[in-house]
Chains A and B, each alone.
Chain A
Amino acid sequence: MHVIPITPYHYLVLAAALFTIGVIGVMVRRNIIILFMSIELMLNAVNLNLVAFSRLYGHVVGQVFALFIVAVAAAEAAVGLGILLAFYRNKETLNVDEVNLLRG
């Protein structure tokens, strides 16, 4: 069977697809939890890119960055979920359109 070797392009295309799905999720969805999940998607798409290029160039810094991002994303998720809980207690909803206090 003809084996197609996995090239950096594959990784980039997969990452671009994941990122686009994340962006679209953030844009169109109203549920704030889905927004968080979409942001996670975008972060991990970037991680994928960093690891791919790290492998391509044989340089370890990309992997280090990916690990940093995973750590920061975990912290972000914790803080974000806290805000989310407080929001839910105030508004009894998770609809992001209800959050418009900064309207001019």
Chain B
Amino acid sequence: MTALVWLLPAFPAAGAALNGVFGIRWFSRTVTAAVACLSMLASLALAIVAAVNVARVPLARTVVLGDWIPAIPAVTSNGHLPFHVAWTLLMDPLAAVMTLVVTGIGLLIHVYATAYMREESRGSYARFFCYMNLFCAFMLLLVLGGNFLVLFVGWEGVGLCSYLLIGFWYQKTSAVDAGRKAFIVNRIGDWGFVLGIMAAFLAFGTLDLQGVAAAAGHWPIERAQFGGLSIICLLLFVGAAAKSAQIPLYVWLPDAMEGPTPVSALIHAATMVTAGVYIVARNVVLFSHAPLVLAIIAIVGALTALMAASIAVVQTDIKRVLAYSTISQLGLMFLAAGVGAVSAAVFHLVTHAFFKALLFLGSGVVIHAMAGEQDMRRMGGLKRYLPLTFVTMVIGALAIAGAPPLAGFFSKDEILLQAFGRNRALWALGSLASLLTAFYMFRLIALTFYGPYKGDAAREPHDARGAMAVPLMFLAIGTIVVGFIGIPRTLGGANAIEHFLAPSFTETRPASVAIIAGQPDPPGTAERVAEARAELARDRAAHRAAFPVTEVTQERAWALMLLSALIAATGLAGAWRFYVTHPDVPRRAAERSSALHALLVNDYYVDDLYHATIVRGTFAAAREFWRMDLRVIDAFVNAWGIGTRVLAWISHVVDKLGVDGVVNATGWTAGEGSFLVRRGQTGLVQNYALLILVGVCAFLTLYMLAPGLELMRDLFAARP
């Protein structure tokens, strides 16, 4: 069964291929939607089966699909180890959770998009679903990848799909620019990520995720110094920070809202942007050996959470509010991972996927209802027209604000509790971000749904129906119930998700079973299971030792929980007061502290800073390179050409004077030297006849005289 895990990414990939190759030309909208949604449904069914399987037997299953890079001899710090990469998939509790999120949320958003994108032409409809399915395939490959290289294929693939979907409306310059910005900022992250992978291979001699964890487990924990493991972790975090939009690489995510709303919901809220958190969670053993990097991650996460939340307070574009909210929530996840609460981070990842997808889809309904209007200042009073959207979005907003007992309450509370145990300052930053979150979410609700209706009076906004309504309802139910998988012990719960995930995060992992695709399970699998269960119990203790969180007393945990509920209530009440009962307060506040307001509205001028330094710097450098090319390289090339021509001229002169001279001199010598013999050649036939006659006469004379000559010779010869 587990050997079929490769079908998880294969279904959406097949859907993408069908829609991409045949759909754009031939499929009707219904066929395209059916192909896309059914491939996701098949994937979801498989993911559920796999998750049940994993829950039953907490073994990590490695599925080897085949060889990729054959063994290349290489030298690493562990000696001579071949660089060998196979197509490996890894199915363990963490992968099971991630695949459930990707396929589940993915399916709902696909269903929603079938209605949302209905206005598109038939070709771009198929193109859209081709990209969406392709994204899901790559995302599943990313979370299932058993080694860094397979994971990286998925990592780059989702980046590509993100680029394609942000720029989906490619006739819009702003969308194209946003896609390019996302792609380029992610290149910076990939630079770090690739270097991290290379460094990991140099350090451990393997790219296998379990192998890296096992090898890293034997390294000393770098408490004080910034050693090899810290460098690897920091480089991997550069990649994670770009993908998950953390300071200083978050600038692409707000612009990514140029894409269609389902894209924002799926890629830029629920799944792809959580890949960075996933990387940290997946390599938790590695990261836990580099506490300094963990501290950096926690600080970056907390600062990002606060900064993005503060920007979201003043945004007017409904989707940009949600984008900054996503950045802020991702910051909270990194804060959790940084303080060692990895399962809390993954828990928040799951709950966030539900309520953020819900909020985005709800905002999509609002945008449709307002005929493409995204500015909240021109909305209002939609509660009457969009009751379903209003109710579901309020549920989502309550969840993200942390109102008990919705999903966000449990996950956020878990994060803040763990942060409190580690560092009070981080906890304070996180709590402040939570306050702002509650405030800006209900500001969004108030501006959109309350007050007078400011839209086109002739046109009645219509609520979500059919394919758009069903996902909203499902997500709202999910938002209500999904938190119950992680009820903390303080409330008498079992914190089921932490227990479920623990095998993925323990220092020494339970022996995994390698399953080769297409072959029966190796013998002795059942015995190994019992063995692994016993080992797991021991590992739980080791896990607690690996993350020495100061145990927060029961009473304090209760107090913190009450405090976060109070924070949520305060934010809600503040937004109510500012935007419903006293709508002129925000304007006066903005006027009173105009510097702060300008700072927030302009996103802390980070984009302008990047534009002034990096973008302008790149252009200036390019111009300098062009000049350099013109003046130095072209000059060199031209000098080379001139030199060649001079040499050719010299060669020509030598040829004319020297070589031709010798040849001509030979001819001239022969011609002029023959001036005497030439006289004999008169060309007159009678002269030749005369000569013949003379010769014949001479011959005859000699012939006749011959006896006499012979006699004379004999005389001379006889003389001595």
Contact = CB atoms under 8 A, between A and B. Distances in A.
Interface of A: 23, 26-27, 96-97, 99-104
26 contacts: A23-B693, A26-B686, A26-B689, A27-B689, A27-B690, A96-B684, A96-B685, A96-B686, A97-B684, A99-B683, A99-B684, A99-B685, A100-B683, A100-B684, A101-B683, A102-B681, A102-B683, A103-B682, A103-B683, A104-B674, A104-B677, A104-B678, A104-B679, A104-B680, A104-B681, A104-B683
Contacts of B674: 104
B104 to A, nearest CB: 108
Most buried by B among A27, A101, A104: A104
Contacts of A103: 681-684
B684 A27 contact: no
Interface string B563-590: 0000000000000000000000000000
Contacts of A26: 686, 689
Interface string B684-707: 111001100100000000000000
Q: Which 9 A-B pairs have the closest CB atoms?
A: A104-B681, A103-B683, A100-B683, A104-B678, A102-B683, A100-B684, A26-B689, A103-B682, A101-B683
Interface of B: 674, 677-686, 689-690, 693
Nearest to B680: A104
A97 B674 CA distance: 24
Given A23-B693, A27-B690, A99-B685, 4 more contacts: A27-B689, A97-B684, A104-B681, A104-B683
A96 B689 CA distance: 12
A56 B554 CA distance: 163
Nearest to A104: B681
A104 B673 CA distance: 13
A102 B683 CA distance: 4
A96 B683 CA distance: 10
Contacts of A97: 684, 686
Contacts of A100: 682-684
Contacts of B690: 27
A37 to B, nearest CB: 15
Nearest to A39: B689
A49 B677 CA distance: 38
Contacts of B677: 104
Contacts of B689: 26-27
B102 to A, nearest CB: 102
A27 B678 contact: no
Nearest to A32: B685
A100 to B, nearest CB: 4
B693 A27 contact: yes
Nearest to B678: A104
